[in-house]
Chain A
Amino acid sequence: MGRMNFRAAVFAVLLSPVIVFGQGPEREAGSVSGNLQMLWQSYSEDALIGAIVPPEKSGFNAFGNLIYQQGGFSAGMRYESYLNAVLGFPGRFKGSGIGYRYARYADPSGKIDFTLGNFYEQFGSGMILRSYEERALGIDNALDGVRLIIRPIEGIEMKALYGRQRLDFDSRLINGPGIVRAVDGTIDMNGLFANRGGYDWKTKISLGASFVSKFQEGGTISKDSLILLLPENIGAWSYRLDLQRSGWSAGLEYSGKVNDPNADNGYTYRNGEALLFNLGYTRRGLGFSFNAKTVDNMSFRSDRNVLLFDLPINYIPAITQQHTYNLAATLYPYATVISGESSASAELFYNIPKGSLIGGKYGTTVSMNFAAANGLDTTQLSGEDELVYGYERNSWGFGPSKFVRDFNVQISRKVSKKFKWKYTYYNLEFNTLATPVTTTFKGIVYADIHVLETQIRTRKRQSLRTEFQALFTEQDKGDWATVLAEYTWSPHWFLSVVDQYNFGNSNSNSRVHYLFGAVGRIDGPHRLSIGYGKRREGIFCIGGVCRAVPASNGFEVNFTSSF
């Protein structure tokens, strides 16, 4: 009964703004919006590609979001179903229920913004705090608690939050054991000094600082003869500076973390550190950027004993570009080595003007990207020090162990109103020991990838797009080819066929075709697609995040809608 009372009281508090604002003199009409996503897959056995059939023979995921908004008040929830979860999703997600709910008041002036319940948040670049979702990958570390954002005067933003993080779903949201407490402040100097000409300063300056602390009950661990106490409160901090001036931009961020023995670092007591730098220049027709990043022991989770996608408090994205073409994107996608890496990347975009000799009638766009990451430059400690601290870092620079090299160049050209093409070349060196994306090869994969994409407008509102991709390598599974053809009837229909063929596999029995066809209809915000075929085991990425999916064979029905 006491529990029920408490729940009712919480709900009353959550909903009280509805009542209060509903009674205001300037009564604003509320609005409701929502969306729905459903994914159904059937499974047939295919020993050749390693596709297995779970006992339930099919997988079903569904999500429905609902947001009620009235003036500055909003309340929302997400209903989730995993009956059972489709393959590739965290298999422990089970049942149906509410996995996310919140009430929020954001004053229209922007000065006050508070949330009770679940929320997503990012401080600065996310180096010490980012809660986010990639629903299609099953990734979600939403915080559940209270968040307050205050913008007291122009140019100043302060955030404070308390919460626990989403870990699991079993007919309801299940949070992890640790508590996350955090504050962040940002000063936009131009806004702050607006009345002293700040807006007009040629240089835009923004400063920020964050502090994040987690609490988890401690205990002891033993290493050889040592019995070590596990710290219960672990703090991390970050300082950032961003500058912009007439096309130039520069950013610097430094983060640190006190000793945090956890499963990622082998329960060592070394402090964590990270340094980020970026420099860019851009003007019409041209863009250049340089990024450098060293992260050392910055795995930060609200449960010291979990790994992979569970309960990360921070987000450390990979230095390499997120590729879009299937062979480049899904066979060897790089992910940050969370225990530590030094990395750098440079990129150039250029538009060869239209009408010029090389630019052609419509202009030509060229881009080049190079990214490199190595292990840290460290010295291994010895004896007891090694057990407790592991290693010592000598510099922020590259260590001897190569993790990845990724060079790519892309040329994109429109030939006529009806015909466009795009060619991309990739040169890749990928250490599968650093990022274990394959079980069939350990070491460095050297690969060349060529992709030619064409697009032809066949008739009014109809178009044919094709992709011809080839990946050549002596290592791992050898050479691959992908052919894709997609025909669209705007604005309602599409038909696509894709075949991936492992033609260069040294084992001739494994030279398999993965053929997949799909047809779909779009009606404004509603989209239905039905596909059938084989899906290769591989890495499925959305945005900056990737997850491994197993091979499967069968039907797939996808429906999304929003209103």
Chain B
Amino acid sequence: MKTQILHGGLTLTLIAAFTTCSWAQTLPTVQLKNMAGEAISTGDLVTAGSPTLICFWATWCSPCKRELNNYAELYEDWQDETGVRIVAVSIDDQRSIRRVAPYVNSVLWDYDVLLDPNKDFARAMQVVNVPHTFLVNGEGEIVWQHNNYSDGDEEEVYEQLLKWAE
């Protein structure tokens, strides 16, 4: 009897929780480190009023590097026009995490680079495989995402940035 009451109560709670919830994914808060070893909370990544592009990548992922190398050439223009900030989240684990900073410097990226070696942030963002790119608006809501990279995808990213820049 007790069990039934509990189960009934739980079911109602769940229904209540799910009916009041929104289906727009918001940026989860996870504690990560940047390349300088400083603690960064992902909740602080969003600049109010400006879009943020969050790109999951790894040093062993060729399409990820193609994507971020191609964006790098356009980043200055994108920043001027849309105020976008690009955050490159590396999911390199302990095997390759020491390669991240030297690689980033050798390809001259100006992104904020975060390290997610045990995929805590990737898991919270529902990333299945890399590259996976998210566009977050100035309110911290994920408004667009793309799971793949082909040459030319930056044109779609640019269109989305223009759409969401205020």
**Contact present for B106 and A349 (CB under 8 Å):** yes
Judge if B28 is at the interface, Cβ distance under 8 Å: yes
The segment from A300-308, A401-409, A483-491 that touches chain B is A483-491
A15, B43: Cα distance in complex, Å: 24
Judge if A200 is at the interface, Cβ distance under 8 Å: no
A244, B127: Cα distance in complex, Å: 30
A125 (CB) vs chain B CBs: closest residue: B94
A422, B127: Cα distance in complex, Å: 28
A16, B150: Cα distance in complex, Å: 45
A120-B13 in contact given A322-B96, A457-B151 (Cβ < 8 Å): no
Interface mask (A106-129 → B, CB under 8 Å = 1, otherwise 0): 101010000000001110011000
B contact residues around A489 at 8 Å (CB)? 150
B contact residues around A207 at 8 Å (CB)? none
Judge if A365 is at the interface, Cβ distance under 8 Å: yes
**Contact present for A491 and B152 (CB under 8 Å):** yes
**Contact present for B101 and A322 (CB under 8 Å):** no
Most buried by A among B36, B41, B105: B105
Q: Which of A19, A22, A280, A455 contacts B98 (CB 8 A)?
A: A280
B contact residues around A505 at 8 Å (CB)? none
A contact residues around B92 at 8 Å (CB)? 543
**Contact present for B21 and A29 (CB under 8 Å):** yes
Interface mask (A335-366 → B, CB under 8 Å = 1, otherwise 0): 00000000000011111000000000001010
**Contact present for A22 and B20 (CB under 8 Å):** yes
Chain A contacts with B in 514-563, Cβ cutoff 8 A: 522, 524-527, 543-544, 560, 562-563
- Extra contacts, 17 of them, besides A67-B126, A524-B144 (Cβ < 8 A), are A5-B3, A9-B6, A15-B13, A22-B17, A30-B20, A30-B21, A31-B21, A33-B25, A65-B123, A133-B119, A206-B37, A351-B105, A489-B150, A490-B155, A524-B145, A524-B146, A562-B132
Judge if A461 is at the interface, Cβ distance under 8 Å: yes
Smallest CB-CB A-B distances: 7 pairs: A287-B102, A544-B95, A490-B152, A317-B95, A488-B150, A349-B106, A30-B21
The segment from A68-76, A261-269, A382-390, A432-440 that touches chain B is A68-76
The segment from B45-53, B58-66, B78-86 that touches chain A is B58-66
In the assembled complex, the CB of A126 is this many whole angstroms from the nearest CB of chain B, namely 5
**Contact present for A32 and B23 (CB under 8 Å):** yes
**Contact present for A120 and B119 (CB under 8 Å):** yes
A31, B102: Cα distance in complex, Å: 38
**Contact present for A287 and B43 (CB under 8 Å):** no
Judge if B74 is at the interface, Cβ distance under 8 Å: no
A562-B126 in contact given A69-B26, A132-B119, A287-B101 (Cβ < 8 Å): yes
Judge if A35 is at the interface, Cβ distance under 8 Å: yes
Q: Which of B60, B105, B127, B144 contacts A282 (CB 8 A)?
A: B105
A191, B59: Cα distance in complex, Å: 29
A365, B108: Cα distance in complex, Å: 10
B contact residues around A206 at 8 Å (CB)? 37
A contact residues around B2 at 8 Å (CB)? 5, 8
Judge if A233 is at the interface, Cβ distance under 8 Å: no
Most buried by A among B16, B102, B120: B102
A488-B152 in contact given A5-B3, A287-B101 (Cβ < 8 Å): yes
A372, B148: Cα distance in complex, Å: 34
B contact residues around A50 at 8 Å (CB)? none
A contact residues around B93 at 8 Å (CB)? 126, 132, 315, 317, 543-544
**Contact present for B17 and A18 (CB under 8 Å):** yes
Interface mask (A190-210 → B, CB under 8 Å = 1, otherwise 0): 010000000000001010000
**Contact present for A8 and B6 (CB under 8 Å):** yes
Interface mask (A4-39 → B, CB under 8 Å = 1, otherwise 0): 110011011001001100100000011111110100
B contact residues around A191 at 8 Å (CB)? 39
Judge if A260 is at the interface, Cβ distance under 8 Å: no
A contact residues around B124 at 8 Å (CB)? 67, 74
Interface mask (A316-328 → B, CB under 8 Å = 1, otherwise 0): 0110011110000
B contact residues around A491 at 8 Å (CB)? 146, 148, 150, 152-153, 156
A contact residues around B24 at 8 Å (CB)? 31
**Contact present for B18 and A32 (CB under 8 Å):** yes
**Contact present for B37 and A282 (CB under 8 Å):** no
**Contact present for B21 and A522 (CB under 8 Å):** no
Chain A contacts with B in 175-195, Cβ cutoff 8 A: 188, 191
In the assembled complex, the CB of A423 is this many whole angstroms from the nearest CB of chain B, namely 14
Chain A contacts with B in 263-302, Cβ cutoff 8 A: 278, 280, 282-289, 291
Q: Which of B21, B36, B59, B156 contacts A32 (CB 8 A)?
A: B21
A322 (CB) vs chain B CBs: closest residue: B60
A contact residues around B87 at 8 Å (CB)? none
A-B contact pairs, 28 of them (CB 8 A): A8-B7, A8-B10, A15-B10, A22-B20, A29-B21, A32-B21, A33-B125, A106-B29, A120-B118, A132-B119, A280-B98, A285-B106, A287-B102, A287-B103, A287-B105, A317-B93, A324-B61, A324-B62, A349-B103, A363-B108, A455-B151, A491-B153, A494-B148, A522-B147, A543-B96, A562-B132, A562-B145, A563-B23
B120 (CB) vs chain A CBs: closest residue: A120
Q: Which of A33, A136, A526 contacts B126 (CB 8 A)?
A: A33
Q: Which of B37, B66, B128 contacts A204 (CB 8 A)?
A: B37
A204, B35: Cα distance in complex, Å: 12
A490, B153: Cα distance in complex, Å: 5
In the assembled complex, the CB of A483 is this many whole angstroms from the nearest CB of chain B, namely 16
A33 (CB) vs chain B CBs: closest residue: B25
B contact residues around A455 at 8 Å (CB)? 66, 151
Q: Which of A35, A125, A132, A287 contacts B106 (CB 8 A)?
A: A287
Most buried by B among A33, A288, A318, A351: A33
A contact residues around B120 at 8 Å (CB)? 120
**Contact present for B95 and A291 (CB under 8 Å):** no
A125, B9: Cα distance in complex, Å: 44
A418 (CB) vs chain B CBs: closest residue: B151
A contact residues around B3 at 8 Å (CB)? 1, 4-5, 8
